[in-house]
Structure 1
Amino acid sequence: MPLTEKPGFRFPSAFTILFGLIILVAALTWIIPAGQYARVPSEALGKDVPVAGSYAATDANPQGIFDVLLAPIAGFYDPVAYTANAIDVSLFVLIIGGFIGVVTATGAIDAGIKRAMVKAKGREVWMIPFLMALFALGGTTYGMAEETLAFYLILTPVMIAAGYDALVAVAVIMLGAGIGVLGSTINAFSTVIASDAAGVTFAEGLWLRIAILVVCWAVTVAFVMRYAARVKADPSKSLVFDRKATNEAHFLNDTTTDVTFTGLQQLVLVLFALTFAVMIWGVSTGGWWMAEMSALFLAAAIVIGIVARLGEGKLVEAFVNGARDLLGVALIIGLARGIVVVMDAGHITDTILHSAEVSVAGLPKTAFILVIYWIEVGMSFFVPSTSGLAVLSMPILAPVADFAGVKRELVVTAFATASGMVNLVTPTSAVVMGGLAIGRVPYERWLRFVWPLLVILTLILMAALALAVYVEATP
């Protein structure tokens, strides 16, 4: 039967979920004792890192009603030692929306999608592994995360036009890049920073992470392709079937069957693709981040508007309308970041980390690494930034591995896989909530879709970590 909301019940929106989490974390600041580690500057990481064994109780700072109300505002700009501000990501999202609005106004996207569907008819399913491989490559090499927000408005119409649903598009992007981050091989924002903080080189443990990446990617692709095939055969099997009409109306602007594809539209799509290529180059090799990427898409929107001869009035109108479409996404990003602001202001982040440090002392090797994995899972919920969690947890948890007789690089792998796993679903991640908002997939539908995959991946990861400990112990 088509999936519909139960009478009398409506699952809360992303805004309500995130604001509820802010209230929950604020309540915890009244219960969990306040404490902090001493911190020292690290030249290698460019940040202050906690010192193992230096935890001490500190004055409590419970968060009240005013702090809860201030958190969504402070979430945009309040500086935190181990993660970035949200305002840069939010502005990037708004400019991406404006850029897509300008390209859409040229008619090039609709024409390109129609022509692609004609060419790929009968072979649409192979888009899934190909695109997921590309996103996974970005995830495992340079931690592709916030950058994926630019792709949802592009891929969702393609997947809907191919006979799938918006959930397939979200899965291809979010799971593709997410599995790459989960199996981080040379990801500077995950394993490289974590290895530096743990006192090992990122090459140590590389082969295990490659194996994890390959196996988890294959399982995830099969999972997504199976769902996509079911939806294509029977659209009523879609978990967002009740949104089918509205999603088609939103993402497919032109319902005619005309496949005219003019030379000007082709040129616009070339410039469109070139913009993304330049973005990937800038992030992976040029040291770019949100400001540079935002400037790139702003410049590209102007160039495309001029090339397509939209005129000043239509260009500005298309850009502003496109940005307005993603305003809700930008607000969600700041709201998600407010959770971390409240937790840090209440001085409970280090207390949670200290409890983790104490809990693993004296455990056998296999139990130790599995408990480390689950500790990082819990910490990742509150600190969705992989680089932030690496700086926060590795200087504390990695030295404990020496006493357990476990190599530090295995702790790094446990951290990377746990952080990557949680960031596929956590509502505290701006990437997750922003991607779902752009793709118009309700959060509870995403959970309903992805939970069987999470179980499978968790079993794979726990088996891999336990096997690695066994291999180390074998003469």
Structure 2
Amino acid sequence: MEKKKKWTLGIPDAYVILFMILVLMAVLTYIIPAGEFQREEVDGVTIVVPDSYTQIESSAASPMDIFLAIQNGMIASAPLIFLVLIIGGSFAVIESTGAIDALILKTIERTKNKEIVLITIVMILFSIFGTLGIIVNAVIAFIPIGIILARSMKLDAIVGVSIIYLGAYAGFNTAFLDPLTTGTAQQIAQLPLFSGIGYRIIIYITILLATILYIAWYVKRIKKDPMKSVLGDNPFPKYEERDDLNKEVQLTGTHKLVLIWLVLGIALYVFGVFKYGWSLNQMAAIFIIIAVGTAVIGRLTPNRLVKEFFEGAKGLVYGAMIIGMARSIVVILEDGKILDTIVQGMATVMTPFTSVSGAIVMFIANELFNILVSSGSGQAVIVMPIMTPLADLMEIPRQVAVQAYKMGDGFTNVITPTSGILMANLAIAGIAWTKWVRFVFPLLLIWTVLGIIFLAIGVMMNWGPF
């Protein structure tokens, strides 16, 4: 008799998790009343008019709307999806020259048995980019480098993602020089741009230090016993073991030129962001230029360039498409007209609290709301027009309200399955979302406790504009 195969559910794939959330949100359009705020444009920014919420006719999602939302999510996320594919292709071209491996192996050689020092340096660098808001979407491009670093140190993919992604978000959690999130929130709250920067830098340093210490603890733990890795006996699910990571390597002149070309390309993009307001499309164009220039420097034929580029892009299709899948959830909430109702509910809950407790409730509410809307600037234009008058009524300094929004937006980005960036990063590294949450949730709790302390201090010291 042939044995019957056992059917087991196993850990659901990221797409399965997102689809289940999508269906749940569609069901909620039948339960939560539809409503909307009036909106007006102020200095080129569309903001919500406080106290303008009204209930409207229900616009519940049909079964067809669920699947249309997936398509519309892909269309809405197209710039980011194609950016991921282009970055993947460009890095494949760079890696084909051996420049990245040579640089990392040289770095490992010079920091032998000093893993924590290397991790700290990399995290500080990415956190600085995070405070400027220029790396949060582009962080996907550097995950392969983080994985190579982690493999060379004989750690796991969790560490590889953490030193890049958590490093960047330790900075983005305060983003004291980011015009799109902190800048937009302060503009809506009618505060001077980037005011309150001194206290925000203190918050940034504390959050970064807590993050580095947490990862250092995890590194020491798995160094002592590799089986204590969250990933168990498969530390790099999408990558085969490599013996060449410990060999001596020569950083050639060609390697140096390729790396200089990469740095110049990224520097040009950073300059363009601040000087000309460049966005994702310009970043994609820069990475195409980097790929072509790398091929010239590395003497790759046009056919080899195309082959390497599409091999790299092909490897990121899963991660790129998941961005659109995550966006489909927001599409359902917006089309079902329940997003504004959820915001109105937040405002109602916050009203009865005292100044300190009200600031904390604002923060927690933003953490929860960010699970639905993971776009930082998108969240700012939805919640800040509501939180600003609420802060005035509850005698909460407006700087505190801005910081409650910013930390609420930043902190839960590291667990929310609706974040296309997070899900793409995990897909590239081959880490299941459930395993990532198991690793990062204690850190999220640490961040949250620190956030509550800093907000309470901000209220008590009457944190002013400057």
TM-score interval w.r.t. the shorter chain? Answer: over 0.9
CA distance in 1, matches of 2:19, 2:300: 41
Give the counterpart of 1:409 among 399, 416, 429: 399
Helix, strand or coil at the partner of 1:242 = coil
Q: Are 1:265 and 2:265 matched, yes or no?
A: no
RMSD: 2.0
Give the letter aligned to residue 461 of structure 2. V
CA distance in 1, matches of 2:273, 2:216: 29
Superimposed CA distance per residue, residues 23-46 of structure 1 (whole angstroms, 9 cap, x where no aligned partner)? 111111010000011111121xx2
Aligned 8 A contact 1:143 1:188 in 2? no
Helix, strand or coil at the partner of 1:271 = helix
1:82 is matched with which residue? none
Structure 1 pair 155–134 and aligned structure 2 pair: CA distance change class (3 A): same
CA distance in 1, matches of 2:363, 2:245: 49
Structure 1 segment 249-288 matched on structure 2, within 5 A: 249=240, 252=242, 257=247, 259-288=249-278
1:113 is matched with which residue? 104
Give the letter aligned to residue 214 of structure 2. F
Q: State the Cα distance separating 1:109 from its structure 2 match.
A: 2.6
Helix, strand or coil at the partner of 1:52 = coil
Q: Are 1:157 and 2:143 matched, yes or no?
A: no
Structure 1 segment 448-463 matched on structure 2, within 5 A: 448-463=438-453
Q: State the Cα distance separating 1:240 from its structure 2 match.
A: 1.9
Structure 1 pair 201–253 and aligned structure 2 pair: CA distance change class (3 A): farther
Structure 1 pair 310–167 and aligned structure 2 pair: CA distance change class (3 A): same
Superimposed CA distance per residue, residues 412-455 of structure 1 (whole angstroms, 9 cap, x where no aligned partner)? 11111111111121111111111111122211111111111111
Helix, strand or coil at the partner of 2:181 = helix
Superimposed CA distance per residue, residues 264-305 of structure 1 (whole angstroms, 9 cap, x where no aligned partner)? 233223323333333333334442211111111111111111
CA distance in 2, matches of 1:143, 1:309: 31
Helix, strand or coil at the partner of 2:235 = helix
Structure 1 pair 246–399 and aligned structure 2 pair: CA distance change class (3 A): closer
Structure 1 pair 296–218 and aligned structure 2 pair: CA distance change class (3 A): same
1:127 is matched with which residue? 118
CA distance in 2, matches of 1:265, 1:200: 47
Give the letter aligned to residue 186 of structure 2. S
Q: Are 1:71 and 2:61 matched, yes or no?
A: no
CA distance in 1, matches of 2:246, 2:302: 28
1:221 is matched with which residue? 212
Q: Are 1:19 and 2:19 matched, yes or no?
A: yes
1:81 is matched with which residue? none
Aligned 8 A contact 1:384 1:428 in 2? yes
- Percent identity (aligned): 33
CA distance in 2, matches of 1:130, 1:257: 23
Q: State the Cα distance separating 1:228 from its structure 2 match.
A: 1.5
1:383 is matched with which residue? 373
Aligned 8 A contact 2:237 2:431 in 1? no
Give the letter aligned to residue 268 of structure 2. V
Helix, strand or coil at the partner of 1:29 = helix
Give the counterpart of 2:80 among 83, 89, 98: 89
CA distance in 2, matches of 1:125, 1:61: 53
1:469 is matched with which residue? 459
Give the letter aligned to residue 235 of structure 2. K
Q: Return 257-266 or 210-219, whichever deviates more.
A: 257-266
CA distance in 2, matches of 1:285, 1:151: 24
2:4 is matched with which residue? none
Q: Return 14-23 or 358-367, whichever deviates more.
A: 358-367
Helix, strand or coil at the partner of 1:145 = coil
CA distance in 1, matches of 2:240, 2:452: 43
Aligned 8 A contact 2:156 2:236 in 1? no
1:52 is matched with which residue? 50
Structure 1 pair 246–14 and aligned structure 2 pair: CA distance change class (3 A): closer
Aligned 8 A contact 2:237 2:429 in 1? no
Superimposed CA distance per residue, residues 193-249 of structure 1 (whole angstroms, 9 cap, x where no aligned partner)? 001112222444333322211111111111111112222333222222332365442
CA distance in 2, matches of 1:200, 1:432: 31
Structure 1 pair 274–440 and aligned structure 2 pair: CA distance change class (3 A): farther
Structure 1 pair 295–12 and aligned structure 2 pair: CA distance change class (3 A): same
Aligned 8 A contact 2:155 2:235 in 1? no
Q: State the Cα distance separating 1:362 from its structure 2 match.
A: 3.2
CA distance in 2, matches of 1:70, 1:144: 31
Give the letter aligned to residue 205 of structure 1. G
Structure 1 pair 220–242 and aligned structure 2 pair: CA distance change class (3 A): same
2:292 is matched with which residue? 302
Q: Return 142-151 or 231-240, whichever deviates more.
A: 231-240
Give the counterpart of 1:447 among 437, 456, 459: 437
CA distance in 1, matches of 2:236, 2:326: 29
Helix, strand or coil at the partner of 2:47 = strand
Q: State the Cα distance separating 1:51 from its structure 2 match.
A: 0.5
Unaligned runs of 5+ in 1: 1-6, 78-84
CA distance in 2, matches of 1:129, 1:189: 27
2:167 is matched with which residue? 176
Aligned 8 A contact 1:143 1:189 in 2? no
Give the letter aligned to residue 70 of structure 2. P
CA distance in 2, matches of 1:143, 1:266: 25
TM-score relative to the length of structure 2: 0.93
Aligned 8 A contact 1:37 1:54 in 2? yes
CA distance in 1, matches of 2:138, 2:419: 14
Give the counterpart of 1:355 among 335, 345, 349: 345
CA distance in 1, matches of 2:255, 2:357: 59
CA distance in 2, matches of 1:256, 1:373: 46
CA distance in 1, matches of 2:438, 2:93: 35
Helix, strand or coil at the partner of 1:249 = coil
Q: Are 1:197 and 2:188 matched, yes or no?
A: yes
Aligned 8 A contact 1:140 1:186 in 2? yes
Q: Are 1:434 and 2:424 matched, yes or no?
A: yes
Give the letter aligned to residue 16 of structure 1. V
Structure 1 pair 307–143 and aligned structure 2 pair: CA distance change class (3 A): closer
